[in-house]
Amino acid sequence: MRAELFLRLRAEKPLVLNITNFVAMNVAANVLLAAGASPAMACAPEEIADLTAISGALTVNFGTLNAEWVVAMRLAAEAANRAGRPWVFDPVAHQATPYRGTVVAQLLRLRPAIIRANASEIIALAGGQAGAAGPDAGDAVEAAEGAARDLALRLGAVVAVTGAVDFVTDGARACRIAGGSALMPQVTALGCSLTCLVGAFAAVAPGDPFEASVAALAAFAAAGAAAEVGASGPGSFGWRFLDELAALTPAAVAGACVVPA
Protein backbone atom coordinates (compact mmCIF):
# COMPACT_ATOMS: atom_id res chain seq x y z
CA MET A 1 0.00 0.00 0.00
CA ARG A 2 2.78 2.46 0.96
CA ALA A 3 4.73 1.76 -2.22
CA GLU A 4 1.57 2.09 -4.29
CA LEU A 5 0.72 5.45 -2.71
CA PHE A 6 4.27 6.65 -3.26
CA LEU A 7 4.12 5.65 -6.94
CA ARG A 8 0.78 7.42 -7.23
CA LEU A 9 2.24 10.56 -5.68
CA ARG A 10 5.14 10.52 -8.12
CA ALA A 11 2.81 9.92 -11.07
CA GLU A 12 0.11 12.42 -10.16
CA LYS A 13 2.27 15.17 -8.60
CA PRO A 14 -0.69 16.46 -6.58
CA LEU A 15 -1.07 20.18 -5.99
CA VAL A 16 -0.95 20.68 -2.22
CA LEU A 17 -2.04 23.99 -0.72
CA ASN A 18 -0.19 24.90 2.46
CA ILE A 19 -0.95 27.68 4.90
CA THR A 20 2.25 27.26 6.85
CA ASN A 21 4.52 29.42 8.94
CA PHE A 22 7.25 31.82 7.79
CA VAL A 23 9.96 29.47 9.03
CA ALA A 24 8.62 26.47 7.13
CA MET A 25 7.46 27.98 3.83
CA ASN A 26 10.67 27.47 1.89
CA VAL A 27 11.77 24.26 3.62
CA ALA A 28 8.38 22.60 3.13
CA ALA A 29 8.06 23.63 -0.52
CA ASN A 30 11.46 22.04 -1.20
CA VAL A 31 10.46 18.89 0.68
CA LEU A 32 7.28 18.54 -1.37
CA LEU A 33 9.15 19.10 -4.62
CA ALA A 34 11.82 16.56 -3.70
CA ALA A 35 9.18 13.98 -2.78
CA GLY A 36 7.40 14.52 -6.09
CA ALA A 37 4.41 16.70 -5.17
CA SER A 38 3.56 20.22 -6.30
CA PRO A 39 3.51 22.76 -3.46
CA ALA A 40 1.56 26.03 -3.24
CA MET A 41 2.07 28.33 -0.28
CA ALA A 42 -0.59 31.00 0.29
CA CYS A 43 -2.39 32.87 3.06
CA ALA A 44 -4.59 35.64 1.57
CA PRO A 45 -8.21 35.29 2.75
CA GLU A 46 -9.32 36.77 -0.59
CA GLU A 47 -8.15 33.77 -2.61
CA ILE A 48 -7.68 30.90 -0.20
CA ALA A 49 -11.06 29.22 -0.83
CA ASP A 50 -10.48 29.33 -4.59
CA LEU A 51 -7.01 27.85 -4.18
CA THR A 52 -8.34 25.12 -1.89
CA ALA A 53 -10.93 24.15 -4.49
CA ILE A 54 -8.25 23.45 -7.10
CA SER A 55 -5.87 21.61 -4.76
CA GLY A 56 -5.73 17.92 -3.95
CA ALA A 57 -5.31 18.60 -0.23
CA LEU A 58 -4.90 21.46 2.23
CA THR A 59 -2.49 21.71 5.14
CA VAL A 60 -2.84 24.26 7.93
CA ASN A 61 0.01 25.08 10.29
CA PHE A 62 -0.20 27.93 12.73
CA GLY A 63 3.41 28.28 13.82
CA THR A 64 3.54 32.02 13.13
CA LEU A 65 -0.07 32.90 13.71
CA ASN A 66 -1.79 36.25 13.21
CA ALA A 67 -5.38 37.40 12.96
CA GLU A 68 -5.51 37.59 9.15
CA TRP A 69 -4.06 34.10 8.80
CA VAL A 70 -6.68 32.73 11.18
CA VAL A 71 -9.38 34.06 8.85
CA ALA A 72 -7.63 32.37 5.91
CA MET A 73 -7.28 29.11 7.83
CA ARG A 74 -10.99 28.99 8.63
CA LEU A 75 -12.03 29.86 5.07
CA ALA A 76 -9.64 27.24 3.68
CA ALA A 77 -10.80 24.48 6.02
CA GLU A 78 -14.43 25.24 5.22
CA ALA A 79 -13.66 25.21 1.49
CA ALA A 80 -11.84 21.89 1.84
CA ASN A 81 -14.83 20.37 3.59
CA ARG A 82 -17.20 21.71 0.91
CA ALA A 83 -15.00 20.29 -1.86
CA GLY A 84 -14.49 16.96 -0.10
CA ARG A 85 -10.72 17.49 0.12
CA PRO A 86 -8.76 16.24 3.13
CA TRP A 87 -7.14 18.84 5.31
CA VAL A 88 -4.23 18.25 7.67
CA PHE A 89 -3.67 20.27 10.83
CA ASP A 90 -0.30 21.01 12.49
CA PRO A 91 -1.02 22.92 15.72
CA VAL A 92 2.54 24.11 16.34
CA ALA A 93 3.05 25.13 19.98
CA HIS A 94 -0.71 25.57 20.47
CA GLN A 95 -0.20 25.19 24.22
CA ALA A 96 2.08 28.25 24.36
CA THR A 97 -0.53 31.03 24.66
CA PRO A 98 -4.24 31.54 25.34
CA TYR A 99 -4.62 33.01 21.83
CA ARG A 100 -3.33 29.82 20.24
CA GLY A 101 -5.63 27.82 22.51
CA THR A 102 -8.67 29.72 21.25
CA VAL A 103 -7.68 29.30 17.63
CA VAL A 104 -6.91 25.60 17.99
CA ALA A 105 -10.42 25.00 19.37
CA GLN A 106 -11.97 26.89 16.43
CA LEU A 107 -10.00 24.92 13.86
CA LEU A 108 -10.65 21.53 15.45
CA ARG A 109 -14.37 22.20 15.03
CA LEU A 110 -13.72 22.28 11.27
CA ARG A 111 -12.88 18.55 11.28
CA PRO A 112 -9.31 18.01 10.07
CA ALA A 113 -8.86 14.57 8.50
CA ILE A 114 -5.39 14.27 10.03
CA ILE A 115 -3.56 15.95 12.90
CA ARG A 116 0.26 15.73 12.71
CA ALA A 117 2.18 17.03 15.71
CA ASN A 118 4.91 16.21 18.17
CA ALA A 119 4.28 14.43 21.48
CA SER A 120 3.99 17.56 23.64
CA GLU A 121 1.48 19.14 21.28
CA ILE A 122 -0.65 15.97 21.24
CA ILE A 123 -0.60 15.59 25.03
CA ALA A 124 -1.72 19.22 25.42
CA LEU A 125 -4.38 18.83 22.72
CA ALA A 126 -5.93 16.00 24.76
CA GLY A 127 -5.97 18.23 27.86
CA GLY A 128 -2.81 16.86 29.53
CA GLN A 129 0.23 18.64 30.93
CA ALA A 130 2.86 18.90 28.19
CA GLY A 131 6.58 18.96 28.93
CA ALA A 132 7.20 21.81 26.47
CA ALA A 133 5.45 25.03 25.49
CA GLY A 134 7.44 25.95 22.37
CA PRO A 135 7.70 24.25 18.97
CA ASP A 136 10.19 21.60 20.16
CA ALA A 137 8.90 18.48 21.92
CA GLY A 138 9.62 17.89 25.60
CA ASP A 139 7.87 14.53 25.86
CA ALA A 140 8.45 11.08 24.40
CA VAL A 141 6.02 9.72 21.83
CA GLU A 142 5.15 6.76 24.09
CA ALA A 143 3.81 9.23 26.66
CA ALA A 144 1.43 10.64 24.00
CA GLU A 145 0.01 7.39 22.63
CA GLY A 146 -3.01 7.32 24.96
CA ALA A 147 -3.75 10.97 24.22
CA ALA A 148 -3.49 10.25 20.49
CA ARG A 149 -6.00 7.40 20.68
CA ASP A 150 -8.42 9.53 22.75
CA LEU A 151 -8.14 12.45 20.34
CA ALA A 152 -8.61 10.25 17.29
CA LEU A 153 -11.81 8.82 18.71
CA ARG A 154 -13.09 12.16 19.98
CA LEU A 155 -12.38 14.08 16.78
CA GLY A 156 -12.88 11.34 14.20
CA ALA A 157 -9.42 12.13 12.81
CA VAL A 158 -6.18 10.30 12.21
CA VAL A 159 -3.57 11.42 14.74
CA ALA A 160 0.10 11.15 13.78
CA VAL A 161 2.52 11.78 16.65
CA THR A 162 6.16 12.12 15.64
CA GLY A 163 9.46 11.76 17.47
CA ALA A 164 12.12 9.08 17.77
CA VAL A 165 9.50 6.42 16.98
CA ASP A 166 6.32 7.78 15.43
CA PHE A 167 2.81 6.63 16.36
CA VAL A 168 -0.25 6.83 14.07
CA THR A 169 -3.81 5.97 15.00
CA ASP A 170 -7.37 6.46 13.83
CA GLY A 171 -8.69 5.25 17.16
CA ALA A 172 -9.15 1.68 15.93
CA ARG A 173 -5.96 0.96 14.01
CA ALA A 174 -2.51 2.01 15.23
CA CYS A 175 1.11 1.54 14.25
CA ARG A 176 4.61 2.70 15.09
CA ILE A 177 7.19 3.85 12.57
CA ALA A 178 10.88 3.70 13.45
CA GLY A 179 13.82 5.11 11.51
CA GLY A 180 14.75 8.66 10.67
CA SER A 181 17.59 10.37 12.47
CA ALA A 182 18.26 12.21 15.72
CA LEU A 183 19.46 15.06 13.49
CA MET A 184 15.91 15.66 12.21
CA PRO A 185 14.74 17.75 15.17
CA GLN A 186 17.97 19.77 14.79
CA VAL A 187 16.79 21.10 11.43
CA THR A 188 13.96 23.59 11.76
CA ALA A 189 10.62 23.01 10.08
CA LEU A 190 11.09 19.35 9.20
CA GLY A 191 8.01 18.51 11.29
CA CYS A 192 6.06 21.25 9.48
CA SER A 193 7.33 19.90 6.15
CA LEU A 194 6.23 16.40 7.10
CA THR A 195 2.73 17.76 7.71
CA CYS A 196 2.76 19.09 4.14
CA LEU A 197 3.93 15.70 2.85
CA VAL A 198 1.11 14.01 4.79
CA GLY A 199 -1.18 16.32 2.80
CA ALA A 200 0.43 15.19 -0.45
CA PHE A 201 -0.15 11.52 0.37
CA ALA A 202 -3.71 12.27 1.52
CA ALA A 203 -4.35 13.87 -1.89
CA VAL A 204 -3.56 10.57 -3.63
CA ALA A 205 -5.28 8.35 -1.03
CA PRO A 206 -8.88 9.55 -1.03
CA GLY A 207 -10.79 8.11 1.89
CA ASP A 208 -7.73 6.58 3.56
CA PRO A 209 -6.04 9.21 5.76
CA PHE A 210 -4.56 6.50 7.98
CA GLU A 211 -2.57 4.84 5.17
CA ALA A 212 -1.67 8.28 3.77
CA SER A 213 -0.20 9.31 7.12
CA VAL A 214 1.73 6.06 7.52
CA ALA A 215 3.15 6.36 4.00
CA ALA A 216 4.33 9.93 4.55
CA LEU A 217 5.96 9.10 7.88
CA ALA A 218 7.56 6.00 6.36
CA ALA A 219 9.00 8.13 3.54
CA PHE A 220 10.50 10.55 6.09
CA ALA A 221 11.85 7.66 8.18
CA ALA A 222 13.55 6.11 5.16
CA ALA A 223 14.97 9.37 3.80
CA GLY A 224 16.10 10.48 7.27
CA ALA A 225 18.00 7.28 7.96
CA ALA A 226 19.69 7.45 4.56
CA ALA A 227 20.60 11.13 4.96
CA GLU A 228 22.29 10.52 8.29
CA VAL A 229 24.91 8.41 6.53
CA GLY A 230 27.75 10.81 5.77
CA ALA A 231 26.11 13.83 7.42
CA SER A 232 28.45 15.72 9.73
CA GLY A 233 25.76 17.83 11.43
CA PRO A 234 22.40 19.53 10.88
CA GLY A 235 23.64 21.58 7.91
CA SER A 236 24.83 18.73 5.74
CA PHE A 237 21.94 16.59 7.00
CA GLY A 238 19.47 19.19 5.67
CA TRP A 239 20.62 19.06 2.08
CA ARG A 240 21.30 15.32 2.18
CA PHE A 241 17.74 14.80 3.40
CA LEU A 242 16.32 16.61 0.37
CA ASP A 243 18.52 14.54 -1.93
CA GLU A 244 17.43 11.31 -0.24
CA LEU A 245 13.76 12.27 -0.50
CA ALA A 246 14.26 12.85 -4.22
CA ALA A 247 16.08 9.51 -4.54
CA LEU A 248 13.46 7.52 -2.59
CA THR A 249 12.22 4.32 -4.18
CA PRO A 250 8.92 2.49 -3.64
CA ALA A 251 10.95 -0.34 -2.10
CA ALA A 252 12.53 2.01 0.44
CA VAL A 253 9.13 3.38 1.45
CA ALA A 254 7.69 -0.14 1.70
CA GLY A 255 10.77 -1.30 3.63
CA ALA A 256 10.53 1.30 6.39
CA CYS A 257 10.06 -0.17 9.86
CA VAL A 258 6.27 0.01 10.35
CA VAL A 259 4.87 -2.19 13.12
CA PRO A 260 1.22 -2.55 14.18
CA ALA A 261 0.62 -1.26 17.71
Residue 194 lies near ligand ADP (rule: CB under 6 A): yes
Cβ-contact 122, 144 below 8 angstroms: yes
Residue 59 lies near ligand ADP (rule: CB under 6 A): no
Find all residues with CB under 8 Å of 202, minimum gap 6, and list them: 57, 86, 88, 113, 114, 209, 212, 213
Nearer to Mg ion, 92 or 141 (CB): 92
Residue 89 CA from chain centroid, whole number: 7
Nearer to Mg ion, 92 or 165 (CB): 92
Helices and strands in the chain, H and E counts:
11, 9
Cβ-contact 32, 189 below 8 angstroms: no
Find which of ligand TZP, Mg ion, ligand ADP, none residue 220 binds, CB within 5 to 8 Å per kind: ligand ADP
DSSP string, 18-30: EE--TTHHHHHHH
Say how far apart CA 65 and CA 214 lie, in whole Å.
Answer: 28
Residue 191 lies near Mg ion (rule: CB under 5 A): yes
Say how far apart CA 211 and CA 56 lie, in whole Å.
Answer: 16
Nearer to ligand TZP, 24 or 58 (CB): 24
Nearer to ligand ADP, 112 or 180 (CB): 180
3-state secondary structure at position 40? strand
CB of 7 to ligand TZP, least distance (A): 27
Say how far apart CA 197 and CA 88 lie, in whole Å.
Answer: 10
CB of 19 to ligand TZP, least distance (A): 13
CB of 251 to ligand TZP, least distance (A): 27
Instruction: Look up residue 25 and give its amino acid.
Output: M
Beta bridge partners of 176: 167, 259
CB of 92 to ligand TZP, least distance (A): 5
Nearer to ligand ADP, 45 or 138 (CB): 138
- Can you tell me which of 64, 66, 106, 236 binds ligand TZP, judged by CB under 6 A? 64
Return residues touching ligand ADP (CB under 6 A). 118, 136-137, 162-164, 166, 180-182, 184-185, 190-191, 194, 220, 224
Return residues touching Mg ion (CB under 5 A). 92, 191
